[in-house]
Amino acid sequence: MEKKYYLVKYFWQIIYAHTIAYFIAGIFAMSLMNYKELFANDIISSFMRSVDEPIIVLGGTVLQIIRGIIIALIILPLRKIFLEEKYGLIKLGLIIFGFSYLSTIGPGIGSFEGYVYTLIPVIYQIWGLPEALIYIGLFIGILFLAIKYKHKIIMTILPIILMVFLSLMGIAGFLMA
């Protein structure tokens, strides 16, 4: 029974850490990096949706729960290394940065293959770097707090409140768009 509880708690921590970090990094990118204007640019608009589309609002919140489950499944076999060993979260952050930004399988913007195989100018290749670094820092930071204060009631209640709030905001934004 304890093993099942541990796995449920593990999945919950990864899901809420990812979703909250993704939302905050996305708000940063939308407001300070002017993604609305960037995504309307001729180069970027040929493969990115407008930030005004309903799926973007839903994707920034509710759909990230699915992505959180995927992330939890991916790191499940190595969870003890990342969540229990000294500097494990730093290792996790480096691996996330390496595989999700620098060394994607396809030619994603900002990745090694993106620089080599696409015609996208360098300025657009590096434009998402601050958002990626903020996301990783927040994700690792939230996980750090979740682990350090795992027995505190606030680390149970606050994530639930934030996840409900973000989900309701995403659904409302989707329905209103």
Three-state SS string over 146-159 comes to: HHHCCCCCHHHHHH
Residue partners of 61: CB distance under 8 A and separation at least 6 = 19, 23, 166, 167, 169, 170, 171, 173
pLDDT at residue 47 tops 80: no
Is the pTM above the cut of 0.85? yes
Structure tokens that stand for 103 in this block = 């060394």
pLDDT of residue 32: 87
Average pLDDT over residues 137-143: 98
Strands (E), the chain: none
85 DSSP assignment:
S
Distance, CA of 67 to CA of 57 (rounded, Å): 15
- CB neighbour list of residue 115: distance below 8 Å, 6 or more residues apart: 122, 125
Give the number of C-alpha atoms closer than 13 A to the C-alpha of residue 24, restricted to the C-beta side: 17
Cα–Cα distance for residue pair 11/17, rounded to 1 Å: 10
| pLDDT, tens digit (0-9, with 9 covering 90-100), for 54-112 | 788 777 788 999 999 999 999 999 999 999 999 999 999 999 999 988 888 888 888 88
pLDDT at 2 over 80: no
Boundaries of every domain in the chain? 2-176
Distance CA 26, CA 40 (A): 17
109-131 per-position pLDDT tens digit: 888 888 888 888 888 888 889 99
